[in-house]
Structure 1
Amino acid sequence: MTTDLLPTLHLLAASPAADAPAIPAARLVPAALIGIAVIVLLITKFKLHPFLGLTIGSLAVGAVAGVAMSDVIDSYTKGFGSTAASVGTLIALGAMFGKLLVDSGGADEIVDTIVGRSSARTLPWAMAGVGALIGLPMFFEIGLVLLMPVIFLVARRSGLSIIKVGIPALAGLSAMHGLVPPHPGPLVAIDALKANLGITLGLGVLVAVPTVAIAGPLFARFAGRWVDAATPELYSTPEDEEREGGKLVRRPSFGVTLFAVLTPVVLMMGKALADIFAADGNAVRTVLDFLGTPLVALLIAVIVGFFTLGRGAGMGTRALATSMEKSLPPIAGIILIVAAGGGFKQTLVDTGIGKLVAQWVEGSGISVLLLAWVVAVLIRLATGSATVATVTASGILAPLAAGMSTGEVSLLVLAIGAGSVFFSHVNDAGFWLVKEYFGLSVGQTIKSWSLMETVLSVTGLVFVLVLGLVV
């Protein structure tokens, strides 16, 4: 954008100081672009941790915009603290529940039950369902590692290509990661855009189901022809259910496990429905508003998990405590990245760049949902991180949400989420995890995994735009 296109955009920077002078638009645009470029360069070229990259990028935005460094630090720490408080606790609780699901054998029970009832024709669809169900409460990397032995054993037993079995499962897992809370990316976008979590969850599931069908079982038919890969010899025998030391002698049943997994989803959806159909002050709405608050819903899920998953698997108090302790270290880095993304977002907001983008989009006629997707795609391609793409795009587009309806804001979250999973390639850790586990070459990984992510992203955008016509 050149300066001769900006005279009509009269903007006051929303800095921490109430009487802060207006920052010229000609400085705001370069400030945002340079800040994003610094983050991308530090992460991709110098392999700096995203936490440091986002922190330095925030300082760069303020410096180029001409904001006092003390105000920049105030903005960053404010955004960091509020995001850590609102989203970090949810990530921690989600990690605890996911670890409990794995350690109790509940995840294995879900997988075995669904796969055991499927024919060769319906198996890819069943694997997509397994990936989505396992991905609902888990982080992508955890779900990926969990699904790998299942994918190998199913492919070997059924005689189907590992691509035809694995791609649907990974599509389900990735769709949950990008579109459905309580994953870090969607949670950050919900927090930054002030979206309703329950409505976003409901719309996210509506988008995810057909998206997974297209990017998973349907796309796998073609990917299986393009990539001829033998099933690796890893996990050649099923793991015995009894674990050493007698910590786990049985699994919770499928029904009990499903109940535990869906507990937070039902509570959050209940809150969303109550907010829509129940009047203010209604006793039922008051109760559901409390129980459906994300923090309370996930806390209840963990507690329910103690008795349904833990006790159902014969885990004692010591085993439960150990499971909870081991769940937190792996996600410490994720929480720092997410919180730093919140700091970067607040810096952008307080300089006024977000309002500038909002006014430009309003006068341009460009679809806000399409713009959100494109911004997330560009950052995803540059950094390789879906979470970084989501938090950065959310920060840039946050002011746009102010004048949108509740449903439209939720669709904005989903458009960003869809863009954040576009074309995973060599700068994405997930790319290398899939390549090494599946025993593929770089070219084969691109023709299967990377293209699947692209189909998932584009299909997700299409369904978001369709919903945008009626929401």
Structure 2
Amino acid sequence: MLDPILILLIGVVVVVGGIIGLKLHPFLALLLAALTVALLTPTELVQQYFISKGLSEAEALKQAHKSIGERIATEFGNTCTKIGILIAMAAIIGKAMLDSGAAEKVIRAMLKVTGVQHAPIGFILSSFFLTIPVFVDTVIFLMMPLAKAMGMRLGKNYLLLALSVIAGAVMANSYVPPSPGPLFLVGALNVPIGLMMVCGVLLGLCTISVGYLIAVFLNKKFDIPLRDSPDARLADIKAIAEKDDKELPSLGWALLPAVFPLATICIRSAVEAFHKPGTPLTDSPILNSVLEVILFFGDKNIALLMGGIFALFVLARQKKTTKEKMTAFVQTALMSGGGIILITAAGGAFGGMLQQSGISDRIADLTKGYQMALIPLAFFIAMVVRTAQGSATVALITASGILAGMAQNANLGFHPVYLCLAIGSGAKLIPWMNDAGFWIMCKTSNLTEREALKTIAPMQSIMGLTGVILTMIAAWLFPLV
């Protein structure tokens, strides 16, 4: 029986060699890697994986004996379930906001507040605080068109703007509830959610400050321009940037496609985080009815759908275009979004096959008896699992499962919140081709795979390392026990 670590290494060779060496399209390389990993994984390991997910032994055996093609397709479909509608509607919102001038209007309003020199700081802070209540990919989808518009307006620093959006979003997603990962950690390690929110925001602001400095350095080191793409042609962005302010939508209409989904998702996230199921939301029946409507639209898929409808309305209102042109416009946007969906889902299939190989359990076994301080151990486990199979969520679950018992130890010497922060830091390392989020960041920013590995991966990894170092210092200075 092949060791899961060897299976992982073979999968890495296939996907990296296929994309960078053989110049294969990422979709094909990722599916070939998923197929390779699935072929090398014994049925016994697949069965153990499904048992660990809560299935009965008989049901796990049934799942394990499904054909390899069916298992790959299932993981492919699971990823599409999570991101398919989001990416499709975000593609429409992004292109509509660019073409209608809405993105340009938002950029001009932001520049009045931050000034040209501090525009990237405005981007990194905006993406950080927006990601606390909102799905991280949603924020990246909605803010990347603004980064493109700002890059065209400034005529420089596009990489700095794109990395600022990514840096703020990924760190909030690791540290601050009600983001799903931190919300899981506070439950697993029995940490008060309020304390995790405060500590997560403080550590997040520190790490994104480091991320900003790294982004500045990378922007100077790599001359990566804003590129033409089907959904954002440079000539069109330039023409809009040169328009008079009166030719653009009002700020309210410009913000609506992005603000509506963000606001409704925020409200739904807050209710889900703090409201007990089965109890009335308020004492007022009328207010309850209003909130129920808001919560309905707060589902991320419905929220993005409504954002897309609003974006198309603003475009039609601004350009007074024909129905035929609107249909062609949507077709172009969906062609761009469809490519991202396919690559991201293929990355999800590859990561899913790695998980079924038992790599998480293998890493857990290797690190369980390793004698080292708990904070760096928590970071190390999360880092290795995340790098190995691509899912930050699986990394969080694996690390918290190993450390949960130790976290309740009265002689721990520091508050368990620091273990949560260390695990969140480790889950940032190292993003590459087996991570669906890597492809979303890569494709929405129009970076090549090489450029993403040279910029996004090191920036995110250094922010994670910074996070664990600051966590260790804080646990020593302020143990909170």
Relative to 1, partners in 2 of residues 1:120 and 1:104: Cα closer, same or farther, differing over 3 Å? closer
C-alpha distance in 2 between matches for 1:91 and 1:413: 28
SS at match of 1:279: coil
Q: Which residue of 1 aligns with 2:328?
A: 322
The letter of the residue matching 2:390 is T
Matches for 1:2-401 after TM superposition, within 5 Å? 27=1, 30-47=2-19, 48=24, 49-62=29-42, 70-71=65-66, 73=68, 74-119=70-115, 122-126=118-122, 128=124, 137=138, 147=147, 150-151=150-151, 153-154=153-154, 162=156, 165-166=157-158, 168-175=160-167, 178-179=170-171, 210-216=206-212, 218-219=213-214, 239-241=238-240, 250-284=247-281, 287=292, 289-308=295-314, 310-312=316-318, 314-350=320-356, 352-358=358-364, 361=367, 364=370, 365=374, 367-376=377-386, 378=387, 390-391=390-391, 394=393
The residue type equivalent to 1:325 in the other structure is Q
Determine helix, strand or coil for the equivalent of 2:262.
helix
Amino acid in the other structure paired with 1:58? A
Q: Deviations over 1:252-279 (max 9, x none)?
A: 2233323321322222221222123333
One-letter identity of the residue aligned with 2:16: T
8 Å contact 2:114–2:122 — kept in the other structure?
yes
Q: Which amino acid aligns with 1:174?
A: I
**Letter paired with 2:338:** A
Whole-Å Cα distance in 1 between the matches of residues 442 and 78 of structure 2? 29
After superposition, the Cα gap between the structure-2 partners of 1:169 and 1:344, relative to the gap in structure 1 and judged at 3 Å, is closer
Gaps of 5+ in 2: 48-60, 174-178, 188-192, 229-233, 282-287, 408-416, 433-437
Structure 1 residues 101, 188: CA separation in 2 closer, same or farther (over 3 Å shift)?
farther
Q: Calculate percent identity across the aligned residue pairs.
A: 19
Q: What residue ranges of structure 1 are gaps of 5+ in the alignment?
A: 1-26, 156-161, 182-186, 244-248, 380-388, 437-441
Distance 1:292 1:467, change over 3 A: farther
TM-superposed CA distance for 1:109, in Å, is 1.7
CA distance, structure 1, for counterparts of residue 279 and residue 166 of structure 2: 38
Structure 1 residue aligned with 2:231: none
User: Which residue of structure 1 lines up, in the alignment, with residue 435 of structure 2?
Assistant: none
C-alpha distance after superposition, 1:400-430 (max 9, x if no partner): 567979x9999799546632458xxxx9996
Does the 8 A contact of 1:130 with 1:172 survive in 2? no
Instruction: Specify the code of the residue in structure 1 equivalent to 2:165.
Output: L
Provide the TM-score with structure 2 as the length reference.
0.60
1:2-31 per-residue CA deviation (whole Å, 9 max, x = no partner) reads xxxxxxxxxxxxxxxxxxxxxxxxx4xx44
Alpha-carbon RMSD across the aligned residues, in angstroms, is: 5.6
Q: Would the alpha carbon gap of residues 92 and 36 (structure 1) be closer, same or farther in structure 2, given more than 3 Å must change?
A: farther
1:82 partner letter: N
Partners of 2:304 and 2:30 in 1: how far apart?
27
Deviation at 1:144, TM superposition (A): 6.5
2:429 alignment partner in structure 1: 419
Corresponding residue SS for 2:238:
coil
Residues in 1 aligned to 2:330 and 2:464: alpha-carbon distance in whole angstroms: 34
